[in-house]
Amino acid sequence: MITFYLIIAALLFGIGVLGILVRRNVLVMLMCLELMLNAVNLTLVAFSRLHANLEGQIFVLFVMCVAAAEVVVGLAIIVNLFRNFYTVDVDIANGLKN
């Protein structure tokens, strides 16, 4: 049964990666990033349940905190991006071109 959860987590991670690569809207990319983080969380919890070890769940706690902090800062950056370019298309910021 753990296998099932691991597979689910892997697939969820894959969906998240796919979303980041494919979508151009920066907010949707952020959401897909959250998907990836959640997939990792699921993996950690599954393993913690398998080994009856609490450390996995503690790590998940920390991951959640970091994810929260990261979302906050990321959103601030996106706000700045929007203020400068008036759009959330991520391809607009091509100042490093050539």
How far is the C-alpha of 89 from the C-alpha of 25, rounded, in Å? 5
Q: How far apart are CA 36 and CA 42, in angstroms?
A: 10
- Please give the residues from 50 up to 79 whose contact with other proteins meets the rule CB under 8 A: 50, 52, 54-55, 57-58, 60-62, 64-73, 75-79
Q: How far is the CB of 95 from other proteins (least distance, A)?
A: 6
Is position 43 an interface residue for other proteins (rule: CB under 8 A)? no
**Contact between 41 and other proteins per CB under 8 A:** yes
What does the alpha-carbon distance between residue 28 and residue 43 come to, in Å, rounded to a whole number? 23
| Residue 30 binding other proteins, by CB under 8 A | yes
- The β-bridge partners of 73 are none
> Does position 6 bind other proteins by CB under 8 A?
no
User: What minimum distance in Å lies between the beta carbon of 37 and other proteins?
Assistant: 9
* DSSP category for residue 54: S
